[in-house]
Amino acid sequence: MYTAIGAGLAILAVIPSALGEAWVCCHTIDGMSRNPEMYGKLRTNMILSCALVETTAIYALLTAILIIFVAK
């Protein structure tokens, strides 16, 4: 029972990750619309930022899986 609660709490780290990724994409699109000549640089930085933010969700999923299958 406690493993399920722990896995659920570990997955809660996905929520800020999703919000952070949406925030990065939203503001990148805003920057592209305000300054179109910065498109290439903004796109590159957005892809790197999204990759770094996405690792938080992957680590949370990995933690939840480890809690469920290893901690018994």
Q: From first to last of its 72 residues, what are the pLDDT tens digits of the chain? A: 888 888 888 888 889 888 989 999 999 999 999 999 999 999 999 999 999 889 988 999 999 999 989 976
Report pLDDT for 6.
Answer: 86
Report pLDDT for 58.
Answer: 92
**CATH number for position 52:** 1.20.20.10
In degrees and rounded to multiples of 5, residue 70 shows phi and psi of: -100, -45
Q: Which domain holds residue 64?
A: 2-71
Report pLDDT for 1.
Answer: 82
Say if residues 64 and 10 touch (Cβ distance below 8 Å): yes
Report pLDDT for 33.
Answer: 94
State the total domains in the chain. 1
